[in-house]
Chains A and B, each alone.
Chain A
Amino acid sequence: MNALLPGEPLNESPDRMTAGNDRPPAVEILSAEKVFANGTRALAPIDLSIADGEFLTLIGPSGCGKSTLLKLIANLIEPSDGRLLWWHGDFGQVGQDGRRFAFVFQEPTLMPWARVDANVRLPLELANFAKAKAAPVVAEAIERVGLSKFARHFPRQLSGGMKMRVSIARALVTNPNLLLMDEPFGALDEFTRNKLDADLVRLWWERKLTTVFVTHSIYEAVFLSTRIIVMAANPGRIFRTMTIDEPQPRDEEFRSSAKFAAYCRELSTWLAEASLPLPSGGAS
């Protein structure tokens, strides 16, 4: 294992000005790489440190390994080489010292036979939480996402955006320190997506959640993030890093500002560059 000092990522620009810069890292990725069984090199060795309280977004063309990287962070898959640390420790200790993470999928993945409150209670039930003790926590999480009136509804009675809110409430109910989101709003219309983005930024700010977010949307990335990692494919790697040092929590005003447009333009250019095939390698 080629050890790189934790907190000294390779591809990061020297002018780090992220919000939680001075705090200890939540996740350290130390030369982790992923080669799948069929020989596909999904990720070249990556070094990245995710600071506590940071809103980090992974963006890039398809096949750049952003989802793979997120799954590594969630310990859903193991790195082929290199290692990851969570709060300076192994994954086994996550959850034992009160530090938890939650994952929000691309789809709401709700249980269709359970009402909203039962869906939100699920992670507590799986952790053997007493039902009576869970009730206020569940109610609070549902209120956070503005669905108190719909607590006794079934998922099929809700719109796509509302289902996604339930999924977020389910993630928040365990009071996680680290929130991992894999293109959670990708299937929603733009209006709903903007609304949920604004809610998410507020939640992140109020709860001091460390968030790792995967998206395809440039606007979403700029609006939400304190730092954006642009990734490139063949093999999946970090291409460039953009720091967005703007006042928090952000709102619609930021979305319509000239600065926002400038960030988007630059990010768009980078993405175009990241999508160019390597001179030596074939296109994906």
Chain B
Amino acid sequence: MKPLLQSEAFVRIAAPLAVGVVLIGVWEVGCRLASIPVYLFPKPSDIFNSLAHNGPSLLRALMVTLRVTLQAFAAAVVLGTLVAFMFVQSRAIEVSLFPYAVLLQVTPVVAIAPLIIILVKNTQLSLTICATLVALFPIISNTTLGLRSVDPGLANYFRMNRAGRLKTLMKLRIPGALPYFFGGLRISSGLALIGAVVAEFVAGTGGRSSGLAYEILDAGFTLDIPRMFAALFLITLTGVGLFGAMVLLSRLALSNWHESEIGAET
């Protein structure tokens, strides 16, 4: 048994946590010493109070944003994987469609969001579409790259054994593409959240189902700065949670074999 301080897992959790505690402490003390007014820059304790005070409404907003994010993420994963499979099946499809995938990626979501919100009546759906558009590209590009990155020796072996297209896909291409796919998931989950929040900002106060972005806007109008920070904190927390879930998923799937998930023990 190693001492706690030398344990890798402990250090990995404790070190960033300590940094966080110190930063929050400096922030709190700094604000108090300089007596900065709450409406300019709230102290951590103000934000915490606001979080407790506005709990139910913030939680409801969080659920709305989370729902849009998860729906968009799921749609991006399904669509992106399907498109990647299509790209790998034929060069012609990839060559003709890839420029449009790039077009989708480089167009800022803020620019197309108003259009989508006008075209699609259902706010929830329009927000989901916007977020999906943002989250889609990493899945497409990563999965395509993964499906193409087949070990040439193994590909040769499959060819020699007269393996068909489907078998090569199932037994060789898909398992080999998993590390790339999970890399795509990590980026895409964060982008889905960003897409959801940005789209909601653009949609503004119109919608009835209002998420965290609306909370931020609303708090800005009423100069309730601690609530603004509290909503921001929840968005950040959601992003971290999503990222953590993806890391965990990737570890579960790849820890047995892939270099990226093998610890220092080997």
Contacts and interface: CB of A to CB of B under 8 A. Distances in A.
> Dominant SS at the A interface?
loop
A156 B257 contact: yes
Interface residues of A, number: 19
Interface in B93-143: none
Given A156-B262, A156-B266, A111 B172 contact: yes
Interface string A80-98: 0000000000000000000
Interface string B155-196: 011101111000100011001101000000000000000000
B102 to A, nearest CB: 31
B116 to A, nearest CB: 40
Interface stretch (A120-128, A238-246, A270-278): A120-128
A123 B160 CA distance: 10
A255 to B, nearest CB: 31
B151 interface: yes
A126 B162 contact: yes
B61 to A, nearest CB: 42
A123 B167 CA distance: 12
A247 interface: no
B160 A74 contact: yes
A41 to B, nearest CB: 24
A113 interface: yes
A146 to B, nearest CB: 23
State the main secondary structure of chain B at its contact with A: helix
Given A74-B160, A107-B153, A111-B154, A125 B257 contact: no
Contacts of A105: 153, 156-157
Nearest to B152: A109
B257 A154 contact: yes
A74 B258 CA distance: 32
B256 interface: yes
A32 B169 CA distance: 35
B160 A125 contact: no
Given A103-B160, A126-B158, A154-B256, A109 B175 contact: no
A112 B178 CA distance: 12
A283 interface: no
B175 A113 contact: yes
A109 B154 contact: yes
A92 to B, nearest CB: 11
A76 interface: yes
Contacts of B171: 111, 122, 125-126
Contacts of B161: 122-123, 126-127
A109 B153 contact: yes
Interface in A171-185: none
Given A76-B160, A111-B175, A113-B175, A126 B167 contact: yes
A113 B157 contact: no
A123 B157 CA distance: 9
A109 B160 contact: no
A113 B178 contact: yes
A113 B258 contact: yes
A111 B158 CA distance: 11
Interface in B222-266: 256-258, 262, 266
A74 B176 CA distance: 26
A73 to B, nearest CB: 12
Nearest to B160: A103
Interface in B21-36: none
Contacts of A126: 158, 161-163, 167, 171
B177 to A, nearest CB: 11
A157 B255 CA distance: 12
Residue of A107, A111, A127, A154 with highest tally of chain B CB at under 10 A:
A111
Nearest to A115: B256
A155 B257 CA distance: 8
Interface string A116-135: 00000011011100000000
A122 B171 CA distance: 9
A64 B163 CA distance: 31
6 contacts: A103-B157, A109-B156, A113-B256, A122-B171, A126-B162, A126-B171
Shortest beta-carbon contacts, A-B, top 7: A109-B153, A126-B161, A113-B175, A113-B257, A112-B257, A126-B163, A154-B257
Interface of B: 151, 153-154, 156-158, 160-163, 167, 171-172, 175-176, 178, 256-258, 262, 266
Interface of A: 74, 76, 103, 105, 107, 109, 111-114, 122-123, 125-127, 154-157
Given A111-B171, A127-B161, 9 more contacts: A105-B156, A107-B153, A109-B153, A112-B257, A113-B175, A122-B157, A122-B171, A126-B161, A154-B257
